[in-house]
Structure 1
C-alpha cells in the first residue's frame, strides 16, 4: 500500500476515534449531569420543612424510595437517545456523501462541502470531481478537434479534386488547345493529384497512428549525417518556395536512439518550418553538445505564433493554419508525434515564437 493510501486510512481511523470519543464523553456527561441534578435537587429540597400530607412531599418520598429505578430509567432513556444520535450521525454523513457524489459530474465552480468531520472525504470528492471534469473537457475538446479535422480534410480533398476534374475536362473537351497550355494544365493536374496523395496519406496516418503504442528500437547513429540527409531530401521543397536551409552541427555526433523515429522527429520539424516560412528566407538547423545531451534547434522566419496557440502546438490534431490553406499543413499530428517520440527518448521538445522568428528545440540524451 502506498503512502497516500495509508494516510487515507489514518484519516478515516481518526474520524472513527473522534466519533467514539464524542459518544463516550456524551454518555459520561449525561450520567454526571443527572447525578448532579439529583444532588442539587436533594439539597434544594432539604432547605424546606415539608408537611406529611403535602402532595409534592409525597411525590419526593416516592422518588426517594424508588431512586434506583428512577435513575435506571433516566439513564436508559438518555443512553437510547445518545446512542441513536451517534448512530444516525454517520448515516447522515453517508446521505451527504451520496448527495455530494451526484455533484461529481456537474460543471460548477463551487466546491463540494461536507461537515468538518468529513474533511478528508470532502477533499477526495473535490479532487475526483475536478479530475472527472477535466477528463470530460479533454474528451470533448478532442472530439471537437477530430470533427473539425474531418470537415477540414474533406474540404481540402474536395479542392484539389475539383481542380483535377476541371483541368482534365478541359483537356478532354478542348481539341484545339495549344501544346503549351496542355502542358500547363497537365502540370497543374499533377500538382493537385500529388496534394491529394498527401492528404490521403494523412487519413491513413490518423487511422494507423496511436501515440500510446509507440515502441522504440535503439541503435547507434551519427546525428550529424542524419540531419544532413534530411535537409538534402527537402531541397525540392526548399527550391519551390525559394528557401535556403543552413545546417550548423559538429562533426560526428553519435547518439543512441530509435533511428527511424528520430528521423521522423526532425523530418516533421523541418517540414513544419518549410510550410510556415516566408518565401526567400533562411531555415537554420543547429546542433550542439552539452552535459551529455544534444540540443537541436530548427529556426525559421514566418508569422509569429500567438501565445495561446503556442501552448497547444503539440496537441494531436491541432493546426496553426486556421484559414485552412490546403497547400500546406497536414492533419495536425506531426508535432504531437514528434513530442511523444522525444519524450520516449527521455528528452524534451519546446517551441518559442517572437518577432517573426519561430524556434523548435529538441534536447535528448546522447545515450
Structure 2
C-alpha cells in the first residue's frame, strides 16, 4: 500500500488515459449497435434508397446484408483499433517518462544540473535529487580526504625536517671537531639524541595514521579485562611519566570488562593517556575509572589542566594541537585523539571531552556484546 501511494499520481494519470480509451471503445460499440436498429438505421436505409433510386425494402435488404450480417466483424475491428490505440498511448506515455528519467540521470553528474520531471514522476524526481545530493556530498568528502592527505604529507615533511636538520647539524659538528671538549661533546650528543627521539615520534605517528586509514580488516572483538589492559599500558608509559613526575591512578575494578578489539582499544587508551601526559600539570596524577552498564561500558580519563570551551569541539580534529608553540617541539603531530575517535566510532561507541574547574575528562562509551 505504501509503495502504491508513492506512485499514486502516475497510476492516476495512467488510469484516466486508459479510462478515456475504454469510454471511446464503449461509445464505438454502442454506435455500431445503433446502426442495426432504431431511428439511425431507418435514416441510413432511406438515404440508401434515395441515393441509389431503389425502394426502401430493397435498401433495407442491402443494409442488412452489408451491416447487420457483418456486425461481429465490425465489432472485432473496432475493438482491435481501440486496443491498438490504448497500447500506443501507454507506449508513448512511458517512453516520454523514460526519456525524462534518463535525462535526470544524465544530470546527476552535471555541476549545477537541475533535475525536473513531470508531476507524475514526483517520487522518482525526489529520489534522483537525493542521489545527486549524496554524490555531491561524497565528492566533497573525497576532495576533503585528498586535501587532508596532502596536508599530512606537507605537515609531517615540515615537522620531520626540523629535528632531522638538527640531528645532522650536531653530528656534523661532532664529526668536524673530533677534539671537542667532553662537556660540549656530551651536550651535542644529548641534543642530537633528543631530536632523534622527536623524529622517531613523528615517524611512528605517520605510520599510525596511515595504518588507521588503510586498515579495512573487520574488528576482532573479544571480552577484555579492562583493569589489566590499563596496568600494562601504564607500565609502557612509565618512562614518559617518570620524566615529568606524573603517575596514573587506576581506579578500575578488576571484574569490569569491555567488549571490543583489544589491539585497537589499547591504541585508543594509549593515545588518550599520552595526551594527558603532554597537557596535564607537572607533578600531577592521571585518574582512570570505569563503570559497567547492561548496554555499555563507560571509561573516564581525568587529569588536571583545563581546555577552553571553544577548543573542545576541535581537539578530535586531525592535526589539531592545543598548544602549538609548545607541542611543535616536544609533542606529537596532533593525530592521536583523531585516531582514538575513529576507532571508538568503529566500535559503535562515542568519545567526548569535558573540561571545567581546572580538570579535563575524556569519556569513552563502548557498547556491550549484547547491545
TM-score (norm 2): 0.70
Aligned equivalent of 2:97: 93
Q: Give 1:117 deviation, angstroms.
A: 1.1
- Contact 2:223 2:258 survives alignment (8 Å): yes
Alpha-carbon separation, structure 1, partners of 2:10 and 2:368: 55
Residue deviations 1:110-151 (CA, integer Å, cap 9, x gap): 6x3322211221122122222212221211111111111011
- Contact 1:23 1:83 survives alignment (8 Å): no
Residue deviations 1:64-85 (CA, integer Å, cap 9, x gap): x9999xxx99999998877655
Equivalent of 1:23, from 17, 20, 29? Answer: 17
Aligned equivalent of 1:297: 300
Q: Tell me how large the CA RMSD over aligned residues is.
A: 4.4
Aligned equivalent of 1:51: none
Aligned equivalent of 2:236: 233
Alpha-carbon separation, structure 2, partners of 1:77 and 1:118: 29
- Contact 2:320 2:334 survives alignment (8 Å): no
Q: How does 1:1-367 map onto structure 2 within 5 Å?
A: 10=4, 17-30=11-24, 84-108=88-112, 112-175=115-178, 177-209=180-212, 210-216=214-220, 218=222, 220-221=224-225, 223-240=226-243, 242=244, 244-255=246-257, 257=259, 258-275=261-278, 277=279, 279-280=281-282, 282=284, 284-292=286-294, 293-300=296-303, 301-304=305-308, 306=311, 308-309=313-314, 313=316, 318-321=318-321, 325=328, 327-330=330-333, 332=335, 334-342=336-344, 348-355=349-356, 357-364=359-366
Residue 142 of structure 1 aligns to a residue whose secondary structure is helix
User: Unaligned regions of 5+ residues in structure 2, if any?
Assistant: 41-62
How many pairs were matched up? 333
Change (3 A) 1:309 1:148: same
User: Unaligned regions of 5+ residues in structure 1, if any?
Assistant: 1-5, 44-64
Alpha-carbon separation, structure 1, partners of 2:156 and 2:169: 20
TM-score (norm 1): 0.71
- Contact 1:288 1:294 survives alignment (8 Å): yes
Alpha-carbon separation, structure 2, partners of 1:211 and 1:364: 20
Change (3 A) 1:175 1:284: closer
Change (3 A) 1:207 1:105: same
Change (3 A) 1:31 1:252: closer
Change (3 A) 1:231 1:107: farther
Residue deviations 1:326-353 (CA, integer Å, cap 9, x gap): 5322372x44543454456x56231124
Q: Give 1:296 deviation, angstroms.
A: 1.4
Residue deviations 1:272-320 (CA, integer Å, cap 9, x gap): 2223x1552745333132424432112342543635525xx2x6xx121
Change (3 A) 1:251 1:95: closer
Q: Give 1:186 deviation, angstroms.
A: 0.6
Q: Give 1:237 deviation, angstroms.
A: 2.1
